[in-house]
Amino acid sequence: MESTYAKITNNIITSVEVVTDEFFNANPQRYTGIWRKVGNGSNRPFCGKGYEYLPGKDKIIAPKPYPSWKLDINDEYQAPIQKPTGNYYWNESLQSWTLTT
């Protein structure tokens, strides 16, 4: 059965490969550095290049959408201002939500 493995460099996912566990374990010279099993059969979600690894929690999270956003207690990025009701998008240069027209 195939599994998904993510390579972590400086707490960022830099590569993702789908291989059997047997192949992964039999080829340590190919999988140097830090690799974590993700997706099915692990406590880490599927991910892609650019996702972040939180080593203290052994958790993978989606990339930070904007520089001004911060992680909340659930490890989800939140804008500095709560999104109003309606069809808005975050405008990083204005640091505010802008109504979609």
State the average pLDDT over residues 4-8: 95
Those residues whose C-beta lies under 8 Å from the C-beta of residue 29, and which sit 6 or more positions away, are none
73 in the same domain as 59: no
- Bridge partners, 20 (sequence order): 2
pLDDT recorded at residue 43: 63
pLDDT tier at 100 (50, 70, 90 boundaries)?
very high
Residue 26 near residue 20 (C-beta atoms within 8 A):
no
12 in the same domain as 44: yes
43 in the same domain as 11: yes
pLDDT recorded at residue 41: 62
pLDDT recorded at residue 46: 81
The string of pLDDT tens digits covering residues 25-77 is 999 999 999 999 998 766 677 889 999 999 999 889 999 999 999 999 999 99
Structural domains of the chain, count: 2
Whether the CA torsion 26, 28, 53, 89 is positive or negative: it is: negative
70 in the same domain as 51: no
Q: Which residue range is the domain that position 90 belongs to?
A: 66-101
41 in the same domain as 10: yes
Burial of 47 (0-12, 13-18, 19+ CB in 10 A): buried
Question: Is residue 84 predicted with pLDDT exceeding 70?
Answer: yes
